[in-house]
Amino acid sequence: MFQRIFLSALGAGIVVGLIAAVLHQFTTVPIIVQAEKYEKAETHSSLGQVPGGFRLNAAPVVARAADLAQSHIVLAAADHNGASAPASSTERIAYTTLTTVLTSVGFALLLVGLFALKGDPVDGRRGVLWGMGAFAALTLAPALGLQPELPGNAAAELGARQVWWLATAAATGLGLAALAFSQSWAIRVAALLLMVAPHIVGAPHPHELTSTAPAEIAGQFAATSIAIGAVFWALLGWFSGTFYARARSTHMDAI
């Protein structure tokens, strides 16, 4: 059982992670690079220096590319103040790809583990439904309060954002599971209340909303990240469901 879960998730995670890494190179990464130019210029300006050539900081590019899965924890944890710059664009692409693939494999393990735990037959089409549920819980719901962040964006205290993100993702995931699998209306009503509770409380935000990048760039990055998140989870659900169904079929034939 564990071998089937692991191999299915590994295959799906690698394939989807590579696809996602390519998508990010042509969508979110150029936006991040552009935003970092504003951040560097603002830093030089505040120090009374003339902005000259700047070097791209690897950490925020890698961390924000991994936000494909819309893990705001990864985004929030990116401390790009002291990270070293990449030696070349090739190195930056390699870091981004590796991070994205590892993230993809981790989420694929989560999906396939849930398939096995539920026990129902799963194929690619059902896998997409599971993937979109994960998208709603891990990307869409948290983004209602904490949008994907660019370098230079103002943000609340890291710990508070992580707690709110985790609570929102957990509440949304549990609520969706209750709505999908429970036959009790009382449980369904409780699930709806659970899902809206984090948004009633509200996400933590800084006292001053300042940003070095223009609002248009920040908006474009947030929208692009969420859109790619939807594509990512749909693909991950399909590949995970397909690979798991084949592994399960092979095992049954062997028996």
The tens place of each residue's pLDDT in the chain, 255 residues long, gives 788 889 999 999 999 999 999 999 999 988 888 887 876 766 555 544 434 433 333 333 343 444 444 443 333 333 343 344 454 678 888 988 999 999 999 999 999 999 999 888 899 999 999 999 999 999 999 999 998 888 767 777 889 999 999 999 999 999 999 999 999 999 999 999 999 999 999 999 887 766 777 778 888 999 999 999 999 999 999 999 999 998 877 655 454
Q: Which amino acid is at 211?
A: S
Per-residue confidence (pLDDT) for residue 76, from 0 to 100: 33
Per-residue confidence (pLDDT) for residue 192, from 0 to 100: 97
Q: Any idea where the domains of the chain sit in the sequence?
A: 2-254
| Separation CA 74–CA 164 (nearest Å) | 14
Size (the chain), residues = 255
Task: Check: CB of residue 99 under 8 Å from CB of residue 3.
Answer: no
- Is residue 13 helix, strand or coil? helix
| Separation CA 166–CA 141 (nearest Å) | 11
The answer to whether the predicted template modeling score (pTM) of the entire model surpasses 0.85 is no
- Three-point CA angle 108, 1, 102, nearest 5°: 25
| Separation CA 75–CA 60 (nearest Å) | 8
Which among 51, 59, 52 has a CA at the least distance from the CA of 84? 59
Per-residue confidence (pLDDT) for residue 150, from 0 to 100: 80
| Separation CA 227–CA 200 (nearest Å) | 25
